[in-house]
Chains A and B, each alone.
Chain A
Amino acid sequence: MDDSAGRGNGNESDASSPPPADALKELRRLLLVAEEAQVSKLQERLDDPEIHAEDVSRVLPEAIVIRSAKDDNLTRVLQPTVEKAILTSVRRDPQVLVDALFPVMGPAIRKAISSTLASMLESFNETLERSFSVQGIQWRLEAWRTGKPLAEVILLRTLVYRVEQVFLIHRKTGLLLHHVSATAAGVEDADMVAGMLTAIRDFVHDSFGGKEGDSLDTFQVGELSVWVEQGPQAALAAVIRGNAPKELRGVFTEAIEKIHGEQAAALQAFDGDAMPFERSRPHLEACLKGERQKKAERAPGARNRRAIQLLRAAVTVLLVALAVWAVAAARRNRFWDAYLERLAAQPGIVVTAAGRRGGKYFVSGLRDPLAADPVAMLPGSSLSAGNVASDWKPYQALVPEFIAKRARYVLEPPATVTLAARDGALVAAGSASSRWIEEARARSRAIAGITRYDDSGLTDADAGELDSLRRRIEGRVLLFPRGSSDLPPAETAKLRDTASDVKEVALLAAALGRTLRVEVIGRGDSVGSVDANLVLSRRRAERVASELRPDGREGEGLTLIPAGVGSTRPLRPEVTEEDRDWNRSVSFHLVLADAGPAGSSRP
C-alpha cells in the first residue's frame, strides 16, 4: 500500500509544485482519510493480545478438526504437553484427577477384581473337587515325592489341552478380524464361524437375558470348548480341545487388551476391511497354547512302582532276618539264663555280676579253685568263650565237700583212707600207715574250715602187720630128733620161713622206731638126765639162733637171745610119745619195746 501511495505521490508532484514533503503528507491525508481509522484499528487489534486470543478462540475447534483429519501431527505435538499437564495436576492436587477418573476406575477395578477372584475360586474349587479322589491322593503322593506344592502338581496334571483356533471378532458386526489356527483345519470358513459365534452369543444373551455387558463367555461341546474374551470393540474366541486351566483366560485377556491398545483407531473405523488386523497375529498366536501329557511322565511312576516293589522285598527280607535274629537271640538269652542258674547252683562259685555289654555277655564273681571250670560249663554253639567274657576272682569256699576235697589235697591220704567233713569236723576212717597217721594229725590243723580232726575210725596198718608176724613166728615149733641138736631136713623149710619173717619183723619194728628182742627157746624131753637135756636144749637154741641171723650177725634193733630150758618148761605134758616129740623142740618169743622218746604215742 505504501508503495502504491508513493508512486501516486510521485505522479502528483510532477503536476504541481508545493513543498514536496508537505504536499505528500497532504495527499496521503486526502487519499487515506477513510482507511486511516481502519488501519489504526487493525494495528490495535494486532497489538492487543486479548483481541488476538479472542480471534483464535473462534477458529480453534474448527482448526483442530481440520488438522486432525489431515494427519496426526497435532496429537503428537500435544502429547507431551498433555502428559505434563496431567503430571502437574497430579503433583499439585491428585484429588482433582481422582474425582475425574473415579466413575471410570471404580467399575474397571471391580471388574478386574471379580474376574481374578472368579478364576481363583474356580481353581480352588477344582482343587477341592480332586482332593479326595484316587487321583487326588496320587497327586498328593507326587507332591510329597517331588517336593512341589500340591497346587503346582494339580496344575501340571490338569494342563492337558490345546488351543486349536483363535478368532478375533469385531463385536458389532460379528465379522472376522483375524484368525489363527494351530492346525490346517477349519481355516477356510472362519468368517462364517465367527458370524455364528456372534449369533449364538447374541441368541443366548437375548434369550436368557442378563444385564448389558453380560455375555456368554464359555461354551462346551464334548471335549471342545469355546472361550470368549470380550473387549469393548472386539472379542477373542478361542477353541480349546481338552481341559484347560482357568488361568488361560488371563492370556486371552492380555491379548485382547493389547490388541485394543494398539489398534483402537482401526477397530473404531472398521468397515469390513480386515487387512489392518494382520498386525494382531502375534497376540493371537500367543494364545495358541497347549500342554500335552507326555507318556514319558508316566515312566517315573512305573519306576517308582518298581522301586516300591524292591523296597517291599527288602523290607520283607529285613523282617525275616530280624525274626531269625530275634529267635536266635531269645534262644541265646534262654541259654544264658540257664547257664547263670547252673553257675549259681555250682558249689564254690559266686556270681556277683552278669549281663550284656557291647553285644557280648559278661559274668564275673568269685570262684574256689576246686570248683568246676565255668568256661567249660558254657553250652557251646551259641554261647562260647568267644562271646562270653568271664572274670573270676579266687576264694576258698567253706562248703563241706570242698573241706573234704581240700583235706584230701592237703593230706594226700592212701586209697585205704576216707575223709569226710561233718559239722565242722574232718573225719578220717580206714587204715593207714602210722607215719601217715602222724603226719595227717599235724597237717589237719592247717586246713581252713575245720575245727576238729577225728581219726578214731582209723587203724594203724603197721602195728597190725607187726602183730600178725609176731604171732606167726611165735606159733612155729621146730622139732628135733631124740638126743640131737641138728635140725632134720623136714624142718629146714620152717626155719627158712621163720628167718624171713624175723627179718621182716625186724625191719618193721625199726620203721616204727621200736626195738625187737627175739628169744629162741630150746627144749628137751624128760627122757635122760636133766643136765644132759639142759645142755642139749641150749645147743638146739643156739643152733637155730645162728640160722636166724641174717648176714651172720644181729641187725640194728634186733636182739636174738638163745636159751635152753631143758625139760623144765615142756610145751606139752609127756603122756604119749608124740608129746615127747613136741618137747624136743625150739620155739620163739618176741618182745617189742619202744626205742625212745620218738617212739609211738600209741596207747
Chain B
Amino acid sequence: MIQKKICMLGASAVGKTSLVSRFVRSLFSEKYHTTVGVKVDKKIVALGQDQMDLLLWDLYGEDEFQKMRASYLRGSSGYVLVVDGTRRETLDKAVVLQNRTEETIGKVPFVLVVNKADLVENWEIDDAAIEELGKRGWPAFKTSAKTGEGVDQAFLALARKMAGAPGP
C-alpha cells in the first residue's frame, strides 16, 4: 500500500471542498477548514492490483497564497488544481498557483480539474483554452462535484502519474 500526500489547490468557491467531501472518505468535519485552515481526507485509488491512498490536504481559501501555506505544500507528491468552469479568472488564478507551487516544492505531478461540468452552458472557459493548457502538459479534466462526472478519472490519472514519478 502506497500513500501520497495530495494538495487541493484553487481559488475560493471553485468547489474543492465539494469535490473532496462527496467523493472521498472524511473523518473530520468542515469546521476544521475554518479553524485550522486545512482538512485532511483520504481518497483510495485502485491501480491494477495495487491500491494507493491519497491523503488530500484541502486548503481553505486560496485567494491569497500566503507564506504560511507553504508548509502545507511541503511533502506533497502531487496536487489538484481546481478551476470553476463558470469563472474565467479562476483559471488565471490556477496558473499563478501552479507557478508558486512549482517554486515551492518543485516539479511534481498534478492535474487540472475544471469543475461545475453540470453548468457547462454557463462556462467562461472554452475547450480551446483547455486544449491550450493540454499542450503545455497540463492534464485537464472536466468534473462535476454535483454529478460525480470525471472525479474518479481525475484522481486516478494523478495517481498513475505519481506512481510513475519519483517520490517527494
Interface residues of A (CB under 8 A from B): 170-176, 189, 191-193, 195-196, 199-200, 202-203, 205-207, 269-275
Contact of B3 among A171, A172, A191 (CB under 8 A): A191
- Chain B residue contacts of A275, Cβ below 8 A: 1
Please tell me if the beta carbons of A173 and B40 are within 8 angstroms of each other in the complex: no
Q: Which residue from B4, B55, B166 sits with its C-beta under 8 Å from A192?
A: B55
**CB within 8 Å of A: which B61-107 residues:** 67-68, 71-72, 74-77
State whether the Cβ of B168 lies closer than 8 Å to any Cβ in chain A.
yes
For the complex, give the distance between the alpha carbons of A175 and B52 in Å: 13
**Cα separation A270 to B39 with both chains bound (whole Å):** 23
Known A176-B3, A206-B68; contact A270-B167, beta-carbon cutoff 8 A: yes
Interchain CB contact under 8 A, B168 and A172: yes
Q: Contact: A274 with B55, CB < 8 Å?
A: no
Q: Which of B3, B53, B166, B168 has the most CB of A within 10 A?
A: B3
Contact B38 A191 (CB under 8 A): no
- Asked if A193 and B27 make an inter-chain contact with CB atoms under 8 angstroms apart, the answer reads yes
B76 close to A192 (CB less than 8 A): no
Residues of A within 8 A of B2 (CB): 271-273
Flag if A199 contacts B27 (CB, 8 Å): no
B42 interface hit (Cβ, 8 Å): yes
Q: Are B3 and A200 in contact (CB under 8 A)?
A: no
Q: Which residues of A contact B162 (CB under 8 A)?
A: 272
CA distance A515 to B167 in the complex (A): 174
Q: How far is the CB of A226 from chain B (nearest CB, A)?
A: 14
Chain B hits for A206, CB < 8 A: 67-68, 71
- Chain B residues whose CB sits within 8 angstroms of the CB of A192 once the complex forms: 25, 27-28, 40-42, 55
Which residues does chain A contribute within 8 Å of B28, judged by CB atoms? 192, 196
Q: Are A195 and B57 in contact (CB under 8 A)?
A: yes
Question: Which residues of chain A have C-beta atoms less than 8 A from B32's C-beta?
Answer: 196
B3 and A202 form a contact (CB under 8 A): no
Is B134 located at the chain interface by the 8 A CB criterion?
A: no
> B36-56 interface mask toward A, CB cutoff 8 Å, 1 = contact, 0 = none?
111111100000000011010
- Say whether, besides A195-B57, A203-B37, A175 and B167 are in contact (CB < 8 Å): no
**Do A272 and B77 form a contact, CB below 8 Å, given A174-B55, A175-B5?**
yes
CB distance A274 to B68 under 8 Å?
no
Decide: A199 and B5 in contact? CB cutoff 8 A: no
Q: Give Cα A274–Cα B38 distance, bound, in whole angstroms.
A: 24
> Contacts A192-B42, A199-B36, A205-B71 hold; do A274 and B27 have CB atoms under 8 A apart?
no
CA distance A272 to B1 in the complex (A): 8
A202 & B72 in contact (Cβ 8 Å cutoff)? yes
How far is B97's CA from A29's CA once the two chains are assembled, in angstroms?
Answer: 76
Q: In the complex, which residue of chain B has the Cβ closest to the Cβ of A203?
A: B36
Contact sample, A vs B, 8 pairs, CB 8 Å cutoff: A192-B40, A199-B72, A202-B71, A203-B38, A203-B68, A206-B71, A269-B167, A274-B3
CB distance from A277 to the nearest CB of B (A): 11
A174 touching B75, Cβ below 8 Å: yes
- On whether A175 and B72 interact (CB within 8 A), knowing A189-B27, A199-B40, A200-B36, the answer reads no
Q: Which residue of B lies closest to A177 (CB)?
A: B3
Which residues on the A side are within 8 Å of B52 (C-beta)?
A: 272
B162 nearest CB neighbor, chain A only:
A272
Q: Are B75 and A191 in contact (CB under 8 A)?
A: no
Given contacts A173-B76, A202-B72, A206-B71, contact A191 B167 (CB under 8 A): no
A353 to chain B, nearest CB (A): 98
Contacts of B41 on A, CB cut-off 8 Å? 192
Q: What are the residues of chain A within 8 A of B166 when measuring CB–CB? A: 271
Q: Is the CB of B40 within 8 A of A196?
A: yes
Q: Kindly provide the distance from the CB of A504 to the nearest chain B CB, expressed in whole angstroms.
A: 153
B5-A174 in contact (CB<8A): yes
Measured CB to CB, the residues of B under 8 A from A are 1-5, 25, 27-28, 32, 36-42, 52-53, 55, 57, 67-68, 71-72, 74-77, 162, 166-168
Residue of B whose beta carbon sits closest to that of A270:
B167
Which single residue of chain B is at the shortest CB-CB distance from A201? B71
- Distance from A185 Cβ to chain B, minimum over Cβ atoms (Å): 13
CA distance A269 to B167 in the complex (A): 8
- Is the pair B3, A199 in contact by a Cβ cutoff of 8 Å? no
CB distance from B52 to the nearest CB of A (A): 8
Complexed CA–CA distance, A269 and B166 (Å): 10
Residue pair B53, A191 in contact (C-beta under 8 Å): yes
Task: Known contacts A271-B166, A273-B2; decide if A199 and B38 are in contact (CB<8 Å).
Answer: yes
Contact across chains for B27 and A173 when beta carbons are under 8 A apart: no
State whether B168 touches A195 (Cβ < 8 A): no
Select from chain A the residue with minimum beta-carbon distance to B76.
A173
Which residues on the B side are within 8 Å of A172 (C-beta)? 74-75, 168
Residues of chain A within 8 A of B27, CB atoms compared: 189, 192-193, 196
A195: chain B residues at CB < 8 Å are 5, 40, 55, 57
A273 to B162, CA, bound (A): 13
B21 to chain A, nearest CB (A): 13
| Shortest distance from the beta carbon of B34 to any chain A beta carbon, whole Å | 12
Question: A193 to B52, alpha carbons, bound, how many Å?
Answer: 17
Q: Which of B25, B68, B71, B75 contacts A175 (CB 8 A)?
A: B75
Q: A172 CA to B168 CA in the complex, in Å?
A: 9
Question: Is A175's CB under 8 angstroms from B3's CB?
Answer: yes
Q: Which residue of A lies closest to B66 (CB)?
A: A206
Query: Which chain A residue lies CB-closest to B1?
Result: A274
- Closest-by-CB residue of A relative to B67 is A206
Using CB atoms, name the residue of chain B closest to A197: B40
Taking CB as reference atom, which chain A residue is nearest B68? A206
- Shortest Cβ gap from B62 to chain A (Å): 15
Q: Which residues of A contact B74 (CB under 8 A)?
A: 172-173
Residues of chain A lying within 8 A (CB to CB) of residue B168: 172-173, 271-272
Chain B positions within 8 Å of A269 at CB level = 167
Cβ distance A176 to chain B, nearest Cβ, rounded Å: 7
Q: Which residues of A contact B55 (CB under 8 A)?
A: 174-175, 191-192, 195
Question: Given A173-B75, A175-B3, A176-B3, does the pair A191, B42 have CB atoms closer than 8 Å?
Answer: yes
Min CB–CB distance B43 → chain A (angstroms): 11
Minimum CB–CB distance for B29 against chain A, Å: 11
The 6 lowest CB-CB distance pairs between A and B, nearest first, are A271-B167, A173-B75, A195-B40, A206-B68, A172-B75, A202-B71
Query: In whole Å, how far is A210's beta carbon from the nearest beta carbon of chain B?
Result: 12
Q: How far does the alpha carbon of A196 sit from the alpha carbon of B42 in the complex, in Å?
A: 11
How far in angstroms is the closest Cβ of chain B from A448?
124
B8 vs chain A, min Cβ distance (A): 13
Contacts of A270 in B (CB 8 A): 167
CA–CA, A172 and B108, complex, Å: 15
Closest to A195 in B: B40
Q: How far is the CA of A171 from the CA of B74 in the complex (A)?
A: 9
B124 to A: closest C-beta gap in Å: 33
Residues of A within 8 A of B1 (CB): 273-275
Task: Find chain B residues with CB under 8 A from A199 CB.
Answer: 36, 38-40, 57, 72
Q: A191-B42, A195-B57 are in contact. Are A272 and B71 (CB under 8 A)?
A: no
CB distance from B27 to the nearest CB of A (A): 5
Given A272-B2, A272-B162, list of 14 further CB < 8 A pairs? A170-B75, A173-B5, A175-B3, A175-B55, A175-B75, A191-B53, A192-B40, A196-B27, A196-B39, A199-B39, A202-B38, A202-B71, A203-B37, A270-B167
